[in-house]
Structure 1
């Protein structure tokens, strides 16, 4: 059986938006959707069993609410649900191991667009071995997006561009493939973005070539990107991949490029440091500042 798309739900408006987005994604991928509600039960007295029953009842109500939202927006999706006991981060990581991808909600900040990523979402993104997508409450259904200008929603499919933040110093197949597949499923364009900065004299080591003209540096990065993407263009001949190579800070460039996107895809290198969840500065900026759903794809 194909692994399902999994959405974590906790009754918040953000998790309901995540469940709806996950249902549409499951339909696109021909997968089932599994809703997971995690809660931590720690009996401390003889009344522990009663508290356990209450938690299960509340969990069932939360799952039913999410199911109703999913059925209203995507009635044909195959749907299952489960309640998972234990710390939320641990339970969601366990669910993600058996998933095609995991979808979580992110809380929006009042008076400012972007994400406020809580400790659970941050811990899951930092440690998950499967892709994790963060969705905010204001996310619209793809078909509801109005046709826009360049980079906006397609008048034909309703989907804006998929944007891939590509680190050409470490191009990773898992991240690139996820982005191409997401664009193919949506019949959307893929916009591949890489940012570079001119090295300073201090950063040049012995034997390094002297500072190169900035125009030539940009051309070199452009040629490298074209070479990296050629294999994937051959594999996905029906997907238009646009290349953007810009001088500047990677986080700033990526946030700007994703302003009208339907999905942003970034990579996250897994490390052997389980004591403290870390996701890297560019990915951190993306999940906090980008307004569209953000897919974080782990790689070795």
Structure 2
């Protein structure tokens, strides 16, 4: 029997949850990143499974649970709440991110590392911690590997290391702002789900800032696309007036009311249409 950690892939928050599990199980467990819009993972029966920051629809989770020795789910996305709560070992908490939920579950008597607290601050788009954006800019320069994050945790627990990281991050953030502005300026108007909104192209580190800026500029939401080998990853950011997670679920994705996403595999019809440029309509 194996311990298998299944987590939201290509996501610092999901990886933070996996890191929390790694600090408990180390290399004795298997770690599998998951993506929305992909075929459900196939795992051997009879293993202990932990889903972190990720949850399939109810029918898929039921089938997985039927073959597992045990199934634990840790998630915070509102669209998964009923599914998570339907399992005896389902833990749902919308007040915390996947990284912090993972740490609190696997290390209940140990303080949440500074790194994971900042990951949560950014994932929930609160930015209430000191120098949050600067430190996150620094954090995002580090590879998503357990060894790298282990060193980063130690670095940020040291006051001098934290101060140095914030200083470097502030410099990165200034350059980041220039690049984000260029992405924002290149956005185009499209028609999507009955709305006339902005669509921009940006890498994953820029999705939230670019999307939120454009959603505020012209609500109720904005789309930010990333071209990947298997298709287009689409981030949705909203101004709070519509539930963008509900929209994302129409396309096999999920998320939060104001921040969600979905994937469009190659060959999938594009769900938006361009709007002919009109300077007056661009505010």
Tell me the TM-score range normalised by the shorter chain.
under 0.3
User: Normalised by the size of structure 2, how large is the TM-score?
Assistant: 0.24
User: Normalised by the size of structure 1, how large is the TM-score?
Assistant: 0.23
Higher relative contact order, structure no. (Cα contacts within 8 Å, ≥ 6 residues apart):
1
Q: Which has the higher helix share?
A: 2
